[in-house]
Structure 1
Amino acid sequence: MDSGLDWHYARAALEWQLELGADEAIGDTAVDRFAAEIELQAAREAAAVAQAPARGGAMPPPKIDEGPDPVAVAQQAAAAAATLDDLREAMAAFEHCELRRGARNLVFSDGVAQARVMIVGEAPGRDEDLQGKPFVGRAGQLLDRMLGAIGLSRAENVYITNVLPWRPPQNRDPKPDEIAMLTPFLARHIALVAPEVLVVMGNISCDALLGRRGITRLRGKWAEAQGLPALPMFHPAYLLRQPQMKREAWADLLELKAKLRAGA
C-alpha cells in the first residue's frame, strides 16, 4: 500500500522512533488505555453486585461488638440495690467508667440518711478523693458554714452526695457519657434517701438532674427533679472563686429555709 511517504523520510522517522525506545509495532490505531481500565473496573463492580445477596444488595460491613451498654448496665445494677449499702457495693463493682481507674477512693456520701435535705454536688476533688467523703476540702468547709447559718448540719439533718463518685483527672469537667452512665445510680440514691427537698449545686448537677445548664440563670428558682422539689444553687467552690456571689447564695439559703419551714 502506498502511504504517500517518501522512502527516505519514512526510514528517518522509523530510526528516530527506535532511538526513542519504540521497538515493537502493536497496531495501526491508537488504544485508549484509560478507557480500558474504566471498563475493567465497571465489570468488576457488576460482578460483585451479582454475587451479593438478592434482597440485601451489597454486602453490609461487618458489625463491631462494642460490648454492653454502660447506661443499661448501670440501670440494672442500681435497680437491684435495696439499701444504701447495696448501692455502694453496686457502684464499686461498676467497671464501665474509666474514672474509677485513676481515683483513690469511691466517694459515696456523707451526712444523715433519710435527712430532710439532700445535697447533690458535682464530682470529688483532691481532698474528697483522699478521704472518700464529699465536700471535705475548702469548699466543704464553706458549705458547712452556709448550712449552719440556717440551722442545718450534715451531722443532723443533711445528706450529701455527688453526681460522680470518682474524681476526674486534674478536676476536669465530667464528660457527657460519664454523667449518663452514673445518673442511674444517682437516681436510685435519691430514691433510697427519700429527702423532702434536693439542693442541686453547680452546672454538672443541674445537667444530670434537670437536663439543663446555666447555674446563674437557674439558681434560686425551684424546679423538680426525681419527683422532688429541687433548688439549684452555686457550688461552694464557685463561691470561693467569686466571693461577690455570696449574696445570691445567702438569698438561696433563705429560700431553702422557708421551704423547710413551710413543710414542717
Structure 2
Amino acid sequence: MHRLYSALQLKKLLIQKALGETYTQPLPTLQEKSTALPTSLDKLKELCNNCYLCELSKSRKKVVFGKGNPKSDILFIGEAPGATEDSVGEPFVGRAGELLTKMIENVLNRPRSSVYLSNIVKCRPPNNRAPTPKEALTCRPYIFQEIEIIKPKLIVALGATAFNYLTNDTTPISKARGHFFTHNDIKVIPTFHPS
C-alpha cells in the first residue's frame, strides 16, 4: 500500500515537472510514513541523494546526510548545511562544526565520533538562510526516519529551527534552552546553534 502510494505521488510530481511546474506543495503523508522509507541508513542516504522534491535540490552541490555513530545514544540536529558542508557533503565540518566538536569533547568528555550529527534539511538553503517551512516539511520524513533508525536516548536540537520542527513548540530558544521536551518519547534538549 505504501509503495503504491509513493509511486503514485512520484508519478504526480513527474507530470507536474514535465508541465513546467518548478515547485509543488508538500504532499500529504500517510500516518505510518516511516514504514514507506528505508530502514537502513545507507538506503535512506541513497534515497536522499536522489531527492528532488523541493527547490533546494537545484542549488545544492551535495546532499548532506547525517554522520557519526549510528548506535549513539545522543543525536545532534541542526537546521541546515552551510557552504562548507555543501561542498564536503558532511554535517558540521565548517566553523560551527569546530565549535560543536569542542563542546562535545569538553562538555560530554567524549569524541565527536561517538555521537551522530544531522540536520532538519539535507540541502543547503541559498545564502545560508533558514529553511522555509515548506522545505523543512518536505524533508521532515528523512530526519524522522533517521531518528527512528538511530533510536537515540537524547536529541540535542541546535537552534530554534531544529527545536521548532522536532517538537512543534514555538517557545523562543532563549527560554527553551536547558529545558527538556520530547519527540516521540525521546528527550529533546534545545540549545543555541554553534554558528
User: Same fold, TM exceeding 0.5?
Assistant: yes
How far apart in 2 are the matches of 1:73 and 1:222?
A: 28
How far apart in 1 are the matches of 2:34 and 2:182?
A: 25
CA contact (8 A) 1:209 1:226 kept: no
Change (3 A) 1:77 1:229: closer
Deviations 1:182-236 (A, max 9, x none): 1111111100011111101101101210112411011100110132011101110
Q: Percent of aligned positions with the same letter in both sequences?
A: 32
Taking structure 2 as the reference length, what is the TM-score of the superposition? 0.81
Change (3 A) 1:78 1:100: farther
Deviations 1:35-90 (A, max 9, x none): xxxxxxxxxxxxxxxxxxxxxxxxxxxxxx97886344698587331200111122
Q: Which runs of 4+ in 1 moved over 3 A?
A: 65-78
CA contact (8 A) 1:187 1:226 kept: no
How far apart in 2 are the matches of 1:93 and 1:146?
A: 33
Taking structure 1 as the reference length, what is the TM-score of the superposition? 0.61
Q: Secondary structure at the match of 2:112?
A: coil
Query: Match for 1:70 among 15, 26, 30?
Result: 26
Q: Secondary structure at the match of 1:161?
A: strand
Match of residue 125 from structure 1: 82
Specify the code of the residue in structure 2 equivalent to 1:152.
Answer: R
Larger relative contact order, structure 1 or 2 (CA cutoff 8 Å, min sep 6): 2
Instruction: Tell me which structure has the larger Cα radius of gyration.
Output: 1
Q: CA RMSD in A?
A: 2.2
How far apart in 1 are the matches of 2:37 and 2:79?
A: 24
**How many residues of Structure 1 are paired with residues of Structure 2 in the alignment?**
172
Q: Structure 2 regions of 5+ residues with no counterpart? A: 1-14, 18-23
Higher helix share: 1
Match of residue 222 from structure 1: 180
Query: Match for 1:187 among 112, 119, 144?
Result: 144
How far apart in 1 are the matches of 2:35 and 2:44?
A: 6
Q: Secondary structure at the match of 1:70?
A: coil
How far apart in 2 are the matches of 1:103 and 1:128?
A: 10
How far apart in 2 are the matches of 1:129 and 1:145?
A: 22
Match of residue 36 from structure 1: none
Match of residue 110 from structure 1: 67
